[in-house]
Amino acid sequence: MLELLPQPQKAPHIVVVGDLIVDHYIWGVSERLSPEAPVQVVEVQTESYRLGGGGNVADNLRALGAQVSLCGVVGADAPKEWLLNQLAQLEIEAQGVLVDPTRPTCKKSRVMISKQQVLRVDRESKAPISPTLEQTLLDIATALLEKADALVISDYQKGVVGAQLCQALIALANQAHKPVLCDPKGKDYSKYSHATLITPNKKEAQIATGLEIQDDARLQQALEHFKTQFHIAIPLITLSEAGMAFLDDKNLVKIPTIAKEVYDVSGAGDSVIAALAFCLALGFDLHQACAFANASAAVVVGKVGSAHATYAEVLEFWQRHYHQGQKILDRHTLSHILRASSPKRVVFTNGCFDLLHRGHVYYLQEAKKLGDILVVGLNSDTSVRALKGPTRPIQTQEDRAFILAGLECVDFVSIFEEHTPLELIQTLKPDILVKGSDYHNKEIVGSELIKEVVLIDFVQGNSSSSLIQKIQGFPCKTLSKQNF
């Protein structure tokens, strides 16, 4: 089966600095409206508490297998006691959690009916923390960062992550050559300047750039704005149900979501930045990290309330998703998946596959034996007509792709419109290119881009053209109902 990433060989140590929130859930049922106002009457059945904000990022990192040190500010109240007890139970280091008796611990109470949120009540202070507390936080984070592998700044605009503290932390991480990831808020992103990676959602990105992101051109413009104006090494924008997008060098890369069921998006952004930090701390490349984060978010939104995903859950989700017949992908999505599956050996072949026959199946089975993942580039209907004339193909590209995807030996199918698969090969960058033995001593498109080219013998007497001629030679007759 296609694996996303290998099992980590160590537990990365990650420092999280940011706003700490207690997520309070009130679970109930409602069967009537209030006689006092046109609102639902909720009969409370149970209540629960979960870590939110920077605490949720830390919890997500812990669930993935990281060692986590958390820094933030809480009040001297009951929610603080619950938060500290929870951190202790989860073995999240909390020496950087400071108490300020002049402010409340941030608490968000959500009323839930049948897995749906109907009301939220916030208790919080957005006032900046004192200079003394800020310096203490910086001192503790500085000491922790010396032995850490990455830093996450979780900014919910609750007063903890001021511009001065944020810039000081980013400078420390950069000096130590350790990735620093920021979950940003507000209009002014100068406080996040020189960060390794930022993860605003689409709405936040629009507020920060002043751009209405309605298409890929504006999306790329927003990402480039973050890169050039604030020197962000990896600008990334999460797109809710549309997945996420980032710049790979100067190219826009979009990663579609793979969530099947969405029950609650609360904390999904925390899961994304935690997964990205986890992967980058382990040294995985950007494509692998984004693939992992995308799958992690899909697991989390399938749960109710601020939740987390374990490493095993993410891998299981990835494998289950891509082994339910969803093999027919566009080239950009497929490129992303193949890069994330490295170091698997990718075998590529292409063709029209108009009428699938024994020769095709044998050829594809032999091709799969050459590597780990077999990708079939399929000529579109337009491409087939250009190659074989106006009477072809017999079957539509959708039907041909579906039949190919049904073969166990075929891992992925990608349809291309061009006359040759050159552009598809350039995008996918396979390790092995396979063609039929009739290409001996002939030019093979894309061979100069591939490490290895292999020619496979055909099964004699089998071709789509001969099948079509044979079918055309049969006499046609009208079938009555008695013939069935």
Which residues participate in catalysis according to the annotation? Answer: 270
Q: Is 370 exposed, middle or buried (0-12, 13-18, 19+ CB in 10 A)?
A: middle
The closest of 293, 59, 306 to 199, measured between CA atoms, is 293
350 is in an annotated binding site: no
d(C-alpha 80, C-alpha 106), whole Å: 9
31 is in an annotated binding site: no
Output the DSSP codes for 322-373: TTSS--B--HHHHHHHHHHTTTSPEEEEEE---S--HHHHHHHHHHHTTSSE
294 is in an annotated binding site: no
Collapse the DSSP code of 1 into the 3-class scheme (helix H, G, I; strand E, B; otherwise coil) and give the result.
Answer: coil
d(C-alpha 335, C-alpha 378), whole Å: 15
d(C-alpha 248, C-alpha 24), whole Å: 39
d(C-alpha 126, C-alpha 270), whole Å: 20
Strands (E), 367-481: 373-379, 412-416, 432-436, 452-456
The closest of 142, 165, 132 to 19, measured between CA atoms, is 165
b/e sequence 252-263, b meaning 16+ C-beta within 10 Å = bbbbbbbbeeee
Note the Cα 30 to chain centre separation in Å.
Answer: 36
Please state whether beta strands 150-154 and 244-248 pair in parallel, antiparallel, or not at all (unpaired). unpaired
192 phi and psi angles, rounded to 5 deg:
-100, 10
d(C-alpha 33, C-alpha 39), whole Å: 5
60 is in an annotated binding site: no
Binding annotation for ATP = 201-204
